Amino acid sequence: MYGGPVNNIGVTGANGFVAKALVNALSQRIGIGVTAITRQETDVVMRRVRKCVVPGGVPDPEFFLDLDGVVHTAARVHVMHETSGDPLQEFRKVNVDATLAIARNAAAAGVRRFVFISSAKVNGEVTFPGKPFTETDKPSLLDAYAISKWEAELGLAEISRQTSMEVVIIRPPLVYGPGVKANFASLMKAVRHGIPLPLKAVHNSRSLIGLENLVDFISVCISHSKAANQTFLVSDGFDVSTSVLVRTMAQAIGLPDRQFSVPVPLLKLAGRLTGKAAMIERLCGNLQVDITKAQTLLGWAPPVSFEDGIRNAMLGKS
| pTM beyond cutoff 0.85 | yes
Look at residue 209 and give its three-state secondary structure: strand
Averaged confidence pLDDT in the chain: 90
Predicted confidence at residue 8, as pLDDT, reads 87
Does the active-site annotation cover 2? no
Q: Please write the tens of the pLDDT for every residue from 203-216.
A: 999 999 999 999 99
Q: Following DSSP, what letter does each residue of 88-102 receive, concatenated?
A: HHHHIIIIIIIHHHH
Q: Please write the tens of the pLDDT for every residue from 231-245.
A: 999 999 999 999 999
Query: Quick one: pLDDT band at residue 59, thresholds 50, 70, 90?
Result: confident
Q: What contacts 202, CB < 8 A, 6 or more positions away?
A: 241, 242, 243, 264, 267, 283, 284
Predicted confidence at residue 50, as pLDDT, reads 73
d(CA 78, CA 275): 17
For the chain, give the percent of residues with pLDDT over 90: 70
- The single residue of 116, 133, 145, 184 carrying the catalytic annotation is 145
Predicted confidence at residue 12, as pLDDT, reads 92
Read off the amino acid at residue 214.
L
How buried is residue 19: exposed, middle or buried, by Cβ count under 10 Å (0-12/13-18/19+)? buried
For the cut 60, the answer to whether the pLDDT of residue 115 exceeds it is: yes
8-180+209-236+288-300 in CATH: which number? Answer: 3.40.50.720
Q: Where are the domains of the chain?
A: 8-180+209-236+288-300
Q: Please write the tens of the pLDDT for every residue from 69-93.
A: 999 998 888 665 556 678 898 989 9
Query: Quick one: pLDDT band at residue 1, thresholds 50, 70, 90?
Result: very low
The CA-based dihedral angle spanning residues 140, 131, 182, 49, taken in that order and rounded to the nearest 10 degrees: -90
Read off the amino acid at residue 157.
A
